[in-house]
Amino acid sequence: MSVTFTTPALETERLILRAPQPRDYDAFVDFYASERSQYVGGPLVGRDAWNAFAGEIGHWVLQGCGMWILTLKGDDTARGIVGHWFPSNWPETEVGWVLFKAADEGNGYAREAAQAAIDHAWNTLGWDTIVSYIVPGNDPSVALAERLGAVLHPDAPQPNPDRPILVYRHPHPEAAK
């Protein structure tokens, strides 16, 4: 007997969001070794980076959803991680985004992927709320959250009250009607 977990892929105009695979490990590790990871729990090296990557995959097992690897259509190179994050210690369901390299910024990839993840959360996962947790100082992510229509929610529950974080709340589509 066995239990099988399936990870769907999402396709957008320019992107494929697909399941993390062992071959993506090097790109993940390179990102987490860099200063670019300072707003998402890094820098991490060695076993800490390995554990974090295993945790990305484990999230799919435990929660039935998780972070996809962001790739371009026709190029399977891992360029980032985007999707759903609700580990056991999180107060609310989150949509998050990371581009591994600065060279991929400015093309709207993160926005295109995050919008697909948000739509999937409302329409397929049936989430009731979506937040994005952003470390103060991560101005590009704040700007993206606002472009996506999210609004700062100062009183929202914090994942780690000892280290307050900005909570951006994405409006439920029903509220816009």
Give the residues lining the site for another protein (CB under 8 A).
1-9, 11, 16, 18-22, 25, 46-47, 50-63, 87-89, 160
Min dist. Cβ of residue 157 to another protein (A): 14
Whose Cβ is closer to another protein: residue 33's or residue 52's?
A: 52
Whose Cβ is closer to another protein: residue 10's or residue 167's?
A: 10
Q: Which helix (H) or strand (E) holds 53?
A: helix 46-63
Asked if residue 72 lies in contact with residue 112, where contact means CB atoms within 8 angstroms, the answer is no
For residue 97, count CB atoms less than 10 angstroms from its CB and return exposed for 0-12, middle for 13-18, buried for 19 or more.
Answer: buried
Whose Cβ is closer to another protein: residue 68's or residue 97's?
A: 68
Min dist. Cβ of residue 146 to another protein (A): 28
Min dist. Cβ of residue 161 to another protein (A): 12
Taking residue 32's Cβ as centre, other Cβ atoms within 10 Å add up to 22
Closest by CA position to 61, among listed 86, 25, 90: 86
Min dist. Cβ of residue 16 to another protein (A): 7
